Amino acid sequence: MCIKQSMIMLLVLAQLAIRPSQLAAQRHLEEATVHIVVVDETGKNLGIAHIDSFSNEENRHQLSNRFRDNVATKVPYGAYTLKIHVTGFRSSKRVVYVFKSEVWVLVGLAVGEELPEVPSPNWPLSGTVKNFDEGEEPIYVRLVGLYSNYLIEDRLVVSGKSGTFTLAGLGSPGRFLLITIGRTRVLDIRSVVVPTKDPIMIDLAATSTGQVMGP
C-alpha cells in the first residue's frame, strides 16, 4: 500500500472515530430542561401538578414520567402535547414548543369540576370606548386570560365617536388583558380584574396607542 493510500485510510478511520462523539454532542445540544409553573386565574402558584401526558406530536413518544416536581430533563427538541391537572381545578391541554435548552411553561388552571361544563355568565363585563377615529371602524374588543386560555370578543356598538360593548360568558374570576382592536391597529391594551365594580371606560384621547393600563 502506497503512502498516499495509507494517509487516506488513516483519515477515514479518524473521521469514523470522531463521528460518534460528534453525534452525541449534537444530541446533547438538542435536549432541554422543561419547567412547568402552574397558577390559578389570579396568578397564585398551585405548586406541584400531575403531568398526565407529555407526548411528542411527531412520534407520540410519551415523556410524562420524566417530570419530577414539575421539571423534566433531557427532553429532545420538538413540539409536545401537555395534559396537566391539579386536584380541585379543571385540567388543561396545550402544545409546548421545546427548541432551546431551558423552556418555561406557565399554565393557568380554573377552579371547578372537570369539563364538559358550560360556564354560566356570572361576571359579564361591559364598557365604553370613546374618542376613536371613525376610519378605524369596525372596532372590536377582545378579552384574553392572563393566566388561562380564556378568550372572548365583541364588536363595538358605535354611536358617533363612542361605542359600547358587553362580554357575557365569563364563568370564573381572574386577571385578563382587554384589547381594543381597530381596522388598522391596536388602539388600547389594559389589564382588568374580573369581577369589576363598574363598567370599563376607555378614553382613547387620554391614552397612547398600545399603552397598558390597569391594576
Q: Give me 35's grid cell.
A: 419547567
Secondary structure letter of residue 206 according to DSSP: G
Q: What is the pLDDT of residue 50?
A: 96
Rounded Cα gap, residues 60 and 54, in angstroms:
9
* Whole-Å CA distances, 151 to 62, 130, 144, 179: 29, 23, 5, 11
Closest residue by Cα to residue 170 from 188, 189, 139, 196: 196
Q: End of a domain among 117, 147, 162?
A: 117
Are residue 185 and residue 133 in the same domain, yes or no? Answer: yes
Secondary structure letter of residue 131 according to DSSP: S
Rounded Cα gap, residues 149 and 77, in angstroms:
24
With left for phi above 0 and alpha for psi between -120 and 50, is residue 5 left, alpha or beta? alpha
Are residue 99 and residue 178 in the same domain, yes or no? Answer: no
Does the residue 12 lie in any domain? no
Does the residue 76 lie in any domain? yes
- CB count, 10 Å around CB of 52? 13
Range of the domain at 197: 125-213
**Number of domains composing the chain:** 2
DSSP-derived 3-state class of residue 158: strand
Q: End of a domain among 117, 148, 179?
A: 117
- CB count, 10 Å around CB of 149? 12
Pairwise pLDDT comparison (66 vs 29), residue with the higher score = 66
* Mean per-residue pLDDT of the chain: 83
Q: Using an 8 Å Cβ cutoff, are 110 and 64 in contact?
A: no
Reported as a pLDDT band with limits 50, 70 and 90, residue 2 is low
82-121 pLDDT, tens digit each? 999 999 998 999 999 999 999 999 999 988 755 444 555 5
Predicted structure pTM score: 0.69
The CATH number given to whatever domain includes residue 209 is: 2.60.40
Reported as a pLDDT band with limits 50, 70 and 90, residue 210 is very low
Q: Of all helices (H) and strands (E), which one includes residue 28?
A: helix 3-29
Are residue 79 and residue 36 in the same domain, yes or no? Answer: yes
152-180 pLDDT, tens digit each? 999 999 998 899 999 987 667 789 999 99
Are residue 150 and residue 80 in the same domain, yes or no? Answer: no
Rounded Cα gap, residues 194 and 173, in angstroms:
5
